[in-house]
Structure 1
Amino acid sequence: MIERLVTLCFERRLIVWIVFAFVAIYGWYSWKQLPVEAYPDIADVTSQVVTQVPGLAAEEVEQQITVPLERELLGTPGLHVLRSKSTFGLSLITVVFKDGIEGYWSRQRLQERISGVSLPYGATPGLDAYTSPIGEIYRYTLESQSRDLRELSELQFWTVIPRLKKVPGVIDVANFGGLTTQFMLELDPAKLVQYGLTLQQIKDAINANNSSAGGSLMNRGEQAYVIRGVGLIRSLADMGNVVVNAKNGTPVLVKDLGTLSYGNVERRGILGKDGNPDTIEGITLLLKDEHASEVIKGVHEAVRDLNEHLLPKDVKVVPYLDRSSLIEATTDTVGHTLIEGVTLVTLVLLLSLGSWRAALIVAVTIPLALLIAFVFMRHLQIPANLLSLGAIDFGILVDGAVVLVENIMRRREQQEGRQITAADAITATLQVARPIFFGMLVIIAAYLPLFAFQRIEYKLFSPMAFAVGSALIGALLSALALIPALAWLAFRKPRRVFRNRPMDWLVVRYRQFLERAIGQRGWVVASCAGALAGVVLLGASIGRDFLPY
């Protein structure tokens, strides 16, 4: 079977070249479309149930909020781990699901569970944003030389965050720092006694006057005007003019009962950066299973739109953590590695084979194997990262091509100045085709146990196994289908035979060593057994870690 395929590819070499050219172009296109990440997402399917109860102590939060929710969540299908944390005014329950559970399905089960729990103090549990532990792709601060923190906070909540959340793939933008503005009324008890008012009356009056009302339509000829009443409080003056009651025909206003001022919701944190002790930050979160390389482009466009059009001229979004830098580093690493690998392999082959034609033909295998791997990765939806691409060994990729080209060169040397024919090249290829095929197959099989991993180990190492296996398949196809015809065209004419003196000397010494080893087989076997036993003993004493520090 292998012999027939190799012969057919050689005889139809023009078609094979066209096919490989098309595959190379499509591989380049696949690389451009391939999502690139700095590292794989190895997190399990995890969701958090968040419940806020302002003012409640941690012990009461644990007893009255967290424990009832935990009891209800324990029966969730596919549950793997459940852990909780209760702090002042906040209950946080982390739910980890078994491997293979779909994320949206798991969140739907959680929503069904928590919707049936009745909690005190009007507490309403909810789910956190559907992201992963490595979902922070962009952090920024909102900076201005002329505006205070209150104005920046308003711009953050009403302009910046809504624009960023419009980017496809952004699930949420978390705010840190800043102020949440409040209209504050400090009541004078003497005034309350004087006008005979209670705190509830003042509260009801303010709430009643802080709303808009819809009316009907007023016809004017062929048109009609919409009638509505706008009553939202927009400033301290609006709040101060709210009528609470009337005494002796004179209205009692809110501003008559105390002092009005701007305030803010109680702050739970503060952010300082670059010498600024109090600033505001936004954290852009990536939707789980989305590709960071594509989403971050949309974030950059949104930030450009904010800085150039939507925000005031004296306010800027200034990034200080950008995942794109890691992604660009990954892309640059792949490019540099490819150039360095091809150059190094070419130089080594040039020194060992003494032919720049042979070196270039073998080196062609590296980019072709990578491009074919990109095609596989794109269709299998496997993102590229440093771990998967960094594991590709260029020396293994060119192994089969080196053997094949060297055998064709040896065949040319045996012709004693006569031009080798296509039949000679096919014969030389068939002599090593089976060893090349099964040798490459053994290397691919060595990566198969990685697919038996589960959970975190599988998510970490399976992209590497897919990438390396795809590259090896590409190298095998190149070695058996493309390289024979190229080598024949390069070496069919008689040429001066290159003698590598250092290599010839090594071959002679190796032959002498091999003859002695075969003559003393018992000692060789005993030495190997002793070395194996030593390796086993040393390996048993070596520490074990899942990942290096």
Structure 2
Amino acid sequence: MIHSVLDFCLRQRLLIVLLSVALLGYGWYSAQQVPIDAIPNVGENQVIVLTEWAGRSPKDVEDQITYPLSIALQAVPGSKSVRGKSMFGFSFVQVTFDDDVDFYWARSRVAEQLTTVNGSLPEGVVPTLAPDATALGQIFYYVLEPPKDMDLAELRSKQDFFIKYALQSVDGVAEVASIGGYVKQYQIEVDPDELRYHNIPLSKVIDSVKASNIDVGAKTVETGGMEFIVRGKGFIGADKTEQETIEQINSTVITVSKGVPIRISDVAQVQTGPAFRRGALDFNGHESVGGVVVMRYGENPRKVIERVQSKIDSLETELGGIKIHGVYDRSVLIDETVSTLTEALIHETIITIAVMVLFLLHIRASIIIAITLPMAVLMSFIAMKTFGVDANIMSLAGIAIAIGTMVDMGIIILENIYGSLSDWEANGSAGGPQQRLTVIRDSAAEVIPAVITAVSTTIISFLPVFFLTGRDHRLFAPLAWTKTFALVSSLIVAVIVLPMLCRIFLRSSQIPRWGQLAAGAGLGCLTAALCWFVWGDHIAEGSSLTLYAATVFAAVAGFLLGWWVTCEKIRSMDENPTSRFVRFLYAGRLRLALRYKLLMLSLPAVIIVLGAGAWFGLPTVLRPVEKVVSLLGADLNQVPGYVDAKHVFTGLKSDDWIALDEGSWFYMPSLYPAASFSQAMEILQAQDTLIKGIPEVENVLGKIGRVESALDPAPAAMVETYVMLKPRAEWREGITARQIWDEINKV
């Protein structure tokens, strides 16, 4: 079967080339469409129900809201657990589902179940679902920088009634949660003595204000053949200024006593003021107003952030001097994650080209690997898009880890074909072009079964990862999937595409000398023109070369490359000094190993012991040996130097999470649970001011309490601080990240 496949691929090279180009195009498209995030979503598949009951204690919220909701939501089909949390004025209920339950199906079932419990909740209390986002949905934090004459209350109004709704309209945004500043409200401060004097209960004052703040409809009237809609206007503040609205409330009639109306102004004072708040924001030591952009489930974070930033750019001209300053942007970490794979791919390709040129002295052979490696990577993205595997640091790490094996498969088949062609040409190229195809086919078929076996073994070794459960499965499964995709893709490319490329590129040059010189001159002129007109700015930024010197260097390099490619021939590896030197070294080591077998076998044993000691710790590995020796009446710990030697390797530290260098830190000091809001705010501002004074710190964003989102159940005494660092080039000389962290802790 392998011979038949190779025959078809070698003879139908136009079809294979067209299919390869189509795969490259679709692979590039898939790479742009696959959602890219920094880390995999390891959160549980859950739906959060938020219920507000303003001013009520956690005990009341627990008894009358959280408990009834928790009992009712246990009947939701597919639910695994129901957890409730009661806070001052809020209830959070989390319904967790199995991982195989569809996210939106779970939300619809929870919403359906909520309709059965509304009647048992206190009057006016309505439970709502959290936005359709995950715990990793908070992708963009921003603060508002106001003009000098704007206070925090007006700034918060701009955030709540203009900026928030504008950003929520962006495709892919589930919610924009506001925090900081003061929510302006009309406050009625009732005088209890006046209520007692007029014999009016407080509830009647509340009812009268509610009754005065309503529009009514009065059907229609007809006159002159026309129909007019009658509307009774009663909304407080409609088309009124703030002072006129206060006067409206003051003139509201509560009751009539002896023919005299008693108004709000008779028993209370009306004013505007800040609403009760359980969250605040600080930026570099100054209280501020900001928001958190929450991404919708399943969206591409990078594209959503791009759309949000585009919307912000279009908004700022309409904000009257307010600037929207992005503080935390997930796309920075995403770009660094993608650049890791890109750099690994570029470096691996360059190294492979250098190795192939060094060992084969044939540039066109290295071009084959340079084509097949990116092609296999793009095919991996096609598989990721097809199977719904998102791109993140774990899944991209799977591709990066597999790159070495992917290159090896191509090199093994390529070198075998190259060696067979060199022998065939050395024997006079008998049989002509048809025999050349046979040589390529037979030499490829000779090693392909071994390559398939090696790849299959590697793929099977990752099967246990797919049987993990819970968070471990969500964390490591993307790596196993993408490594499998990459290996299978590289195997397909090595079997189908690589032999066809060998037919095109692996041949001894028959071009006359004048053609070789012309090709070198043409490529030299092309590289010189590119260097002068296209690469000039990049060269000036990235090197100390002048543009003229770089152009001359590019012209010479282009000439040599063009001349070399057009005159190179397929030579036997025995003619290559590098190959002869490597074989000489290997032959000497092999003779030594065969002569001193016991010594050579002891080296792997020592490596196994030291490796196990480095992993688990030498004290743990040597403990059975110490017990056996102690049975013989000896104590190894009494041997001079033994204790120090075994503590050279104490074992690797383990962690259940991956460490990422985002260029920012999350600092979270603890306060007493009963700490007051004003005390927490005072501590936060003092802390942020001191941290901002560290030269390496660019910005400090501090938060106490919760943003107005069901995804943030933080209590008012919880302090969260985001410390954004400057680029390392701007740090003080000799200072390390650990020293900066120690300075923050000293604060």
Give your verdict on TM over 0.5: yes
Q: CA-to-partner distance for each residue in 1:455-501, whole Å, 9 max, x for gaps? A: 32222222222322222222222222222233234333355556343
Structure-to-structure mapping, 1:520-535, within 5 angstroms: 528=604, 532=608
Amino acid at match of 2:281: L
2:329 alignment partner, one of 322, 325, 331: 322
Secondary structure of the corresponding residue to residue 426 of structure 2: coil
Structure 1 residues 258, 69: closer, same or farther in 2, change over 3 A? closer
Equivalent positions of 1:227-242 (< 5 A) are 227-234=230-237, 235-242=245-252
Cα distance, 1:199 vs. partner? 3.4
Q: Which amino acid aligns with 1:282?
A: G
Structure 2's unaligned 5+ residue stretches are 238-244, 509-568, 618-650, 660-747
Deviates more, 1:444-453 or 1:31-40: 444-453
The answer to whether structure 1 residue 380 and structure 2 residue 456 are counterparts is no
Counterpart mapping for 1:428-443 below 5 A: 428-443=443-458
Matched, 1:371 2:378: yes
**Residue 20 of structure 1: CA displacement?**
0.8
Quote the residue 1:347 is aligned against.
354
2:91 corresponds to which residue?
91
Closer, same or farther in 2 for the Cα pair 1:316/1:509, shift >3 Å? closer
User: Using a 3 Å threshold, how does the CA distance of structure 1 residues 409 and 214 change in structure 2: closer, same or farther?
Assistant: same
Residue-pair matches, total: 546
Q: In structure 2, what is the equivalent of residue 7 of structure 1?
A: 7
CA offset digits 1:114-171 (Å, max 9, x no partner): 5444245764444322321111012222332132222222222222222222233322
Q: Distance in 2 between matches of 1:527 and 1:496?
A: 38
| Aligned position for 2:283 | 273
Please tell me whether the aligned partners of residues 419 and 572 of structure 2 are also in contact (alpha carbons under 8 angstroms). no
Q: Secondary structure at the match of 1:317?
A: strand
Partner of 2:27: 27
SS of the counterpart of 1:260?
Answer: strand
Shift of 1:454: 2.1
In the alignment, is residue 307 of structure 1 matched against residue 316 of structure 2?
yes
Q: 1:204 aligns with which of 194, 197, 207?
A: 207
- Offset from partner CA, 1:377-414 (integer Å, 9 cap, x none): 22222222222123323221121221222122222332
Q: Give the secondary-structure state (helix, strand or coil) at the position aligned to 1:270.
A: strand
Offset at residue 88 of structure 1 (A):
2.7
The Cα of 1:229 is off from its aligned counterpart by 1.5
- CA offsets, 1:162-206, max 9 Å, x none? 222223332222221232222223344565566564434433332
Q: Distance in 2 between matches of 1:185 and 1:372?
A: 67
Unaligned runs of 5+ in 1: none
Tell me, yes or no, if structure 1 residue 102 matches structure 2 residue 102: yes
Q: Output aligned runs, 1:5-404, within 5 Å.
A: 5-117=5-117, 118-120=120-122, 123-145=125-147, 146-188=149-191, 191-192=194-195, 197-234=200-237, 235-246=245-256, 251-277=261-287, 279-308=288-317, 311-392=318-399, 393-404=402-413
Whether the aligned pair in 1 keeps the contact of 2:27 and 2:378 (CA below 8 Å) is yes
Is the 1:365–1:397 Cα contact (8 Å) retained in structure 2? no
Higher RCO structure (Cα 8 Å, ≥6 apart): 1
Pair 491,252 (structure 1): closer, same or farther in 2 beyond 3 Å: closer
Give the conservation status (yes or no) of the 8 Å contact 1:53–1:121.
Answer: no
Aligned to 1:455: 470
Where does 1:408-447 land on structure 2 (aligned, <5 Å)? Answer: 408-414=417-423, 415-416=425-426, 418-419=428-429, 421-447=436-462
Kept in 1: contact 2:34–2:300 (CA 8 A)? no
- In 2, the alpha carbon distance for the partners of 1:451 and 1:545 equals 21
CA-CA distance at 1:74 after TM superposition: 4.3
Query: Are the aligned partners of 1:363 and 1:398 in contact in 2 as well (CA < 8 Å)?
Result: no
Q: CA RMSD in A?
A: 3.0
Identity of aligned residues (%): 28
Alignment correspondent of 2:484: 469
Taking the aligned partners of 2:71 and 2:200, their CA distance within structure 1 comes to 46
C-alpha spacing 1:475/1:192, structure 2 compared with 1 (3 Å): closer
Structure 1 length as normaliser, TM-score? 0.89
- Aligned counterparts of 2:60 and 2:384: Cα–Cα separation in 1: 51
- Inter-partner Cα distance in structure 2 for 1:35 and 1:182: 42
Contact 2:48 2:95 (8 Å CA) reproduced: yes
* One-letter amino acid of the structure 1 residue matched with residue 186 of structure 2: F
Normalised by the length of structure 2, the TM-score is 0.67
User: Partner letter of residue 449 of structure 1?
Assistant: P
Instruction: Decide which moves more: 396-405 or 494-503.
Output: 494-503
Contact 1:345 1:395 in 2 (8 A): no
* SS, match of residue 3 in structure 2: helix
Contact 1:46 1:97 in 2 (8 A): yes
1:501 maps to what in 2? 577
Q: Is the 8 A contact 2:173 2:293 kept in 1?
A: yes
